[in-house]
């Protein structure tokens, strides 16, 4: 039986491309449900609780303690017995010693572990193994690495994101793993947040589109996750995780429900509609309620209102943290009760088996109902059946000949090329001639670690240069592509220390840097941030580090033109030094092919086409997203801009070596009902002699509303390629329902009134003739 028959498929339209896309309605297949019932009828309470328990691999290996393993990694038979015979656990995650392994090593560990577990299971229930495969199969040595999600978003090209997902799934299966903890569907709404680079940016619509395509890449267009080339996705971190008051990881968010449901919820709802079957929970809290005990979000909304039929997994140790960090439970046992009753189905424990002991006691005492346990286990078994794990518990590398193939590398290169965003290019300094004498400097000039960022061969990305020596750094790529390798020289001036701390820097001889700069035509400074992940990436100052700012000043003082290449996970502020430089390129975290891509764009072999997926702030006290309120851009007397809102570069911005004009923006009507679709057309012309790609972005602005409207909201986009002098009419179909907002009663509503649609330099006013509640 085809496992994808669990869900019925219907069709909807994405207005970014006007393509028909498959949306999955999570209806249950009676045959699958009967199979689950038959299994559960034979399961003991201990077996059921075991299915809800997940531990990390280091717990199951030989080592000094549960937190580390001896090398080479070997499974510990005593620990396997404890996990699978005594506790009957149903899931394992992570790598050992926080480092990547080859597909062959993964195969050896996975097959041994899963075979043992299957043999020990009275009902032959397979283990589901999960890994953070974030921008490629990122814990597999030799795998193809793409740009991080923020770079994928900067391409504004959903097809590239879909292909990245497909290749990631294929190479993850080569390691024997069928489940990834991806995509991140949090909004990258706060540039201080250390996980912004893991997101698709600040806009809900862009995030929803990109998330949909990444999920379909992982799972297949029809979510046939039992296919040996597909994997199960996991939406994280449900929800509001990124919108913290402090900008620091795992800290409280404070926001009204209408904001939560208008901006954050739609992205996760789109992921559910795309067919995702697992969801990971926000490690923080919203309005004083930790999300892991928020029954309203976990059960009432996700499972009941949205009809989610998969399972909900905690993040790392987050049930224990209800006691030790959030302080809402007096002990671990009470934390387990609160979380399970709220709707948690699986606990990422990860270092012990106390969760299982506590949960069995809670059921026996009547504090957790057997119905709640059965619901959780049914959901977990449903996903395991959908994945085909009962028939094929794991896959083997020998059946994946395209692992790390040239065609996979070409896809990663193309994605890196389309992600890189040109933000400044005074006097058309770029592209450079390949005969230009270039001094390459800055801490990201000649190492791979900052090009990849976190979740790259290890959690913090600190092992990248151990694994990625075969790829080109920015310096190596520029030198390789130059007309003469001697035209490109290296002197970093500032370097990153090879530590776990991303802030550690070392300043070199800047006088020597200036001397070398005087012998060059152009200075290319590769600056930004070293790699980090999650809490270790918290910061106190969003400005570029003092050391790197001084390096920019030293370079500018030579009177040589300076190109800034920003290699960074979040937009570090450059307003103090940006006026000193001629060109600025945002590379984000472009992956192993980022050096090649940057060289290709700097030399003009490729035309940049990336656009910012976030607002690049100018000052640390002005971090608003582009969809801020009108009152946040009040006129400021004496200001050169006249307003409070003055970002360094706006959302959706990106330059090209081509030039484009917009004209003839039209709509099929002027007045619309709430049930109508707005058909929009705009003419775009390449007015240069250089072929290039342009992203047409349609925004709406509500003139007046019963709750203060945002200045504008993205409603559609399309990326097109135009030759020199070529014109094209781009068409969009935008449902009027997309103009809705969430009111104080937490209802989606379209209100009667005027809206301005804008695309490029063109504007058009339309009118909605009625007020109506919208079912989302």
**Ramachandran assignment for 49, one of left (phi > 0), alpha (psi -120 to 50 degrees), beta (any other):** alpha
Round to whole Å and give the CA distance between 44 and 5: 29
**DSSP codes of every residue in 29-91:** PHHHHHHHHHHHTT--HHHHHHHTEEEEGGGGBSSSSTT---SS--B-HHHHIIIIIIS---E
Angle, vertex CA 539, rays to CA 618 and CA 209, nearest 5:
65
**567, 464 Cβ separation under 8 angstroms:** no
Structure tokens at 174: 């080569």
**276, 215 Cβ separation under 8 angstroms:** yes
DSSP tag of 337? H
From first CA to last CA, the distance across the chain in angstroms is 32
Round to whole Å and give the CA distance between 733 and 199: 26
Strands of the sheet with 235-238, listed across from one edge: 235-238, 278-281, 311-313
Task: Give the three-class secondary structure for 295.
Answer: helix
Question: Which residue is catalytic, options 315, 318, 345, 702?
Answer: 315
Is residue 465 annotated as a catalytic residue, yes or no?
no
Across 222-248, b (16+ Cβ under 10 Å) vs e yields bbbbbbbbbbbbbbbbbbbbbbbeebb
Structure tokens at 74: 């070997």
Round to whole Å and give the CA distance between 372 and 638: 62
Structure tokens at 740: 């809705």
**DSSP codes of every residue in 442-488:** STTSS-SHHHH-SSSSSSSSTTHHHH-TTS--HHHHHHHHSSSGGGE
Alpha carbon 500 to its chain centroid, in Å, reads 22
Contacts of residue 273, Cβ cutoff 8 Å, sequence gap at least 6: 23, 24, 212
Task: Give the three-class secondary structure for 737.
Answer: helix
**223, 311 Cβ separation under 8 angstroms:** no
Structure tokens at 25: 């309605």
**564, 522 Cβ separation under 8 angstroms:** no
Catalytic amino acids? 315
């Amino acid at each position: 039986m085809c496992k994808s028959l669990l869900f019925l498929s219907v069709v909807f339209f994405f207005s970014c491309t006007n393509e028909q896309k498959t949306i999955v309605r999570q209806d249950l297949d009676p045959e699958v449900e009967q199979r689950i019932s038959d299994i559960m009828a034979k399961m003991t309470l201990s077996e059921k609780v075991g299915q809800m328990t997940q531990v990390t691999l280091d717990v199951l290996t030989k080592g000094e303690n549960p937190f580390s393993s001896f090398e080479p990694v070997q499974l510990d038979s005593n620990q396997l017995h404890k996990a699978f015979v005594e506790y009957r656990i149903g899931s394992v995650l992570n790598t050992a010693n926080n480092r990547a392994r080859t597909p062959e090593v993964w195969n050896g560990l996975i097959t041994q572990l899963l075979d043992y577990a299957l043999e020990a299971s009275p009902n032959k229930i397979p283990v589901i193994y999960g890994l953070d495969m974030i921008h490629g199969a990122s814990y597999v040595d030799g795998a193809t690495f793409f740009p991080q999600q923020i770079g994928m978003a900067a391409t504004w090209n959903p097809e590239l994101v879909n292909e990245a997902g497909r290749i990631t799934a294929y190479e993850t299966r080569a390691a024997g793993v069928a489940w990834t903890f991806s995509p991140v569907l949090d909004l990258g709404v706060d540039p201080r947040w250390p996980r912004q680079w893991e997101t698709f940016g600040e806009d809900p619509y862009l995030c929803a589109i990109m998330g949909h395509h990444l999920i379909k890449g992982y799972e297949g267009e029809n979510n046939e996750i039992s296919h040996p080339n597909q994997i199960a996705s996991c939406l994280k971190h449900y929800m509001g995780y990124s919108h913290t008051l402090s900008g620091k990881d795992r800290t409280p968010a404070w926001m009204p429900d209408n904001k939560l449901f208008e901006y954050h919820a739609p992205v996760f709802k789109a992921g559910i509609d795309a067919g995702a079957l697992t969801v990971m929970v926000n490690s923080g809290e919203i309005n004083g309620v930790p999300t892991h005990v928020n029954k309203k979000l976990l059960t009432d909304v996700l499972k009941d209102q949205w009809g989610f039929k998969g399972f909900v997994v905690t993040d790392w140790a987050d049930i224990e943290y209800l006691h030790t960090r959030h302080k809402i439970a007096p002990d671990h046992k009470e934390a387990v009760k609160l979380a399970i009753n709220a709707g948690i189905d699986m606990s990422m424990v990860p270092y012990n088996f106390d969760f299982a002991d506590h949960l069995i006691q809670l059921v026996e005492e009547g504090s957790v109902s057997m119905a709640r346990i059965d619901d959780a286990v049914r959901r977990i078994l449903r996903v395991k059946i959908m994945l085909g794990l009962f028939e094929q518990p794991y896959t083997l590398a020998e059946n994946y000949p395209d692992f790390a193939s040239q065609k996979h590398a070409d896809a990663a290169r193309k994605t890196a090329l389309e992600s890189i965003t040109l933000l400044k290019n005074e006097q058309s300094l770029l592209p450079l001639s390949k005969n230009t004498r270039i001094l390459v400097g800055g801490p990201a000039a000649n190492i791979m670690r900052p090009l990849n960022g976190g979740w790259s061969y290890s959690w913090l990305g600190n092992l990248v240069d151990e694994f990625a020596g075969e790829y080109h750094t920015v310096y190596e790529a520029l030198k390789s592509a130059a007309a003469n390798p001697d035209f490109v020289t290296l002197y970093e001036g500032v370097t990153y220390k090879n530590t776990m701390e991303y802030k550690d820097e070392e300043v070199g001889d800047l006088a020597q840097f200036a001397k070398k700069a005087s012998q060059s035509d152009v200075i290319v400074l590769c600056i930004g941030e070293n790699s980090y992940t999650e809490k270790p990436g918290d910061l106190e100052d969003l400005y570029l580090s003092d050391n790197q700012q001084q390096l920019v000043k030293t370079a500018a003082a030579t009177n040589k033109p300076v190109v800034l290449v920003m290699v960074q996970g979040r937009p570090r502020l450059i307003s103090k030094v940006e006026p000193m430089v001629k060109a600025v390129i945002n590379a984000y975290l472009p992956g192993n092919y980022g050096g090649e891509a940057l060289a290709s764009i700097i030399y003009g072999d490729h035309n940049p086409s990336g656009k910012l997926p976030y607002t690049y702030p100018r000052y640390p006290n002005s971090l608003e997203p582009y969809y801020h309120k009108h009152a946040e851009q009040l006129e400021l007397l004496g200001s050169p801009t006249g307003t409070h809102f003055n970002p360094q570069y706006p959302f959706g911005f990106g330059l090209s070596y081509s030039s484009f004009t917009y004209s003839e923006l039209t709509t099929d009507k002027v007045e619309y009902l709430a049930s109508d679709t707005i058909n929009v057309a705009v003419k775009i012309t390449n007015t240069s002699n250089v072929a290039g790609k342009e992203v047409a972005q349609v925004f709406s602005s509500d003139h007046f509303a019963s709750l203060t409207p945002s200045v504008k909201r993205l409603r559609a986009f399309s990326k097109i390629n135009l030759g020199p002098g070529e014109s094209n009419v781009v068409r969009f179909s935008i449902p009027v329902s997309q103009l809705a907002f969430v009111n104080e009663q937490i209802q989606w509503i379209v209100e009667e009134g005027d809206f301005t649609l804008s695309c490029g330099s063109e504007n058009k006013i339309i009118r909605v003739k009625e007020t109506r509640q919208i079912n989302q």
